[in-house]
């Protein structure tokens, strides 16, 4: 005899988040707070109706809430979606101690900064959207992709010609304690992403806090 037991809420939500499209929707809601299906579809590259399907699954799993937006004109109101507080919190607090311990351990190595930068490069190559074979990535497209990567990781980047201004460091406290390691990892992240994209851009360097709470990544044409 087979006995069917109900799944726990956490298990159901975990399975819902296992889909890459729903995970992308969750990340956009985490960054923006509230969005409607049309804007979500624009951000993740899906039709709004497809987004609504995934949102319904997330809502049934206890991960998403919805409410009608305030209506200033006649007609059906927009529906705004947001994350439940249980998953809106990204777990950064729980990992703070571990991150501090690991950063301190790497900083104590003679080649700690080099290892941190190489680890950042590996993740930068992995996290960007790889171009298709034989496809050429323009400098503008490469910079936009790096900005998107940094935005997803919480840096609140702003793009300008030849530079990316990062208005928030998600590891600010660690960067104060071990800048040689944390900043090296960030350099590697950007450099590795640019390498993987194969454009004519490379990272020329990062200015660390030339303005309060702002770091600036300078981009340059690769030397021939």
Same fold, 9-88 and 92-221: no
- Do residues 168 and 156 touch, judged by C-beta distance below 8 A? yes
Tokens of 155: 């840096």
In the three-class reduction of DSSP (H, G, I as helix; E, B as strand; rest coil), residue 218 is classed as strand
What are the residues facing 66 on neighbouring strands? 81
Domain boundaries, the chain: 9-88, 92-221
Average pLDDT of the residues in 175-183: 91
pLDDT given for residue 3 in this prediction: 35
pLDDT given for residue 7 in this prediction: 44
Write the pLDDT tens digit of every residue in 107-165.
999 999 999 999 999 999 999 988 888 788 899 999 999 999 999 888 999 999 999 99
pLDDT given for residue 6 in this prediction: 41
Please give the Cα distance from 135 to 126 (Å, whole number).
18
In the three-class reduction of DSSP (H, G, I as helix; E, B as strand; rest coil), residue 205 is classed as strand
What's the pLDDT band for 87 if we cut at 50, 70, 90? low
In CATH, what is the architecture of 92-221? 2-Layer Sandwich (3.30)
Percent of the chain with pLDDT over 90: 50
**Terminal Cα-to-Cα distance of the chain (whole angstroms):** 70
Rounded to two decimals, the pTM is: 0.59
pLDDT given for residue 193 in this prediction: 96
Spell out the residues 6+ positions from residue 101 whose beta carbon is closer than 8 angstroms to its own. none
Among 213, 199, 183, smallest CA distance to 144 is for 199
Please give the Cα distance from 203 to 104 (Å, whole number).
26
- The two counts, helices (H) then strands (E), for the chain are 10, 7
Write the pLDDT tens digit of every residue in 4-54.
334 445 556 767 777 788 888 888 888 888 899 999 999 999 999 999 999
- Do residues 144 and 159 touch, judged by C-beta distance below 8 A? yes
What topology does CATH give the domain 9-88?
Arc Repressor Mutant, subunit A (1.10.10)
Please give the Cα distance from 109 to 87 (Å, whole number).
36
């Amino acid at each position: 005899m087979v006995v069917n037991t109900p799944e726990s809420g956490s298990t159901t939500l975990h399975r819902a988040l296992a889909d890459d499209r729903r995970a992308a929707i969750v990340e956009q809601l985490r960054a923006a707070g509230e969005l409607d299906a049309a804007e979500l579809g624009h951000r993740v590259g899906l039709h709004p109706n497809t987004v609504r399907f995934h949102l319904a699954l997330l809502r049934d799993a206890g991960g998403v809430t919805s409410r009608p937006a305030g209506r200033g004109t006649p007609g059906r109101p927009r529906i705004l979606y947001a994350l439940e507080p249980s998953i809106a919190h990204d777990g950064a607090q729980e990992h703070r101690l571990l991150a501090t311990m690991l950063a301190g351990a790497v900083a104590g190595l003679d080649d700690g900064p080099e290892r941190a930068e190489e680890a950042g490069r590996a993740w930068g190559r992995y996290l960007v959207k790889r171009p298709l074979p034989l496809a050429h990535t323009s400098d503008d497209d490469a910079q936009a992709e790096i900005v998107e990567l940094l935005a997803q990781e919480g840096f609140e980047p702003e793009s300008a010609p030849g530079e990316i201004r990062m208005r928030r460091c998600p590891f600010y406290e660690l960067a104060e304690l071990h800048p040689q390691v944390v900043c090296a990892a960030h350099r590697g992240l950007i450099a590795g992403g640019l390498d993987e994209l194969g454009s004519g851009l490379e990272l020329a360097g990062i200015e660390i806090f030339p303005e309060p709470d702002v770091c600036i990544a300078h981009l340059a044409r690769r030397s021939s």
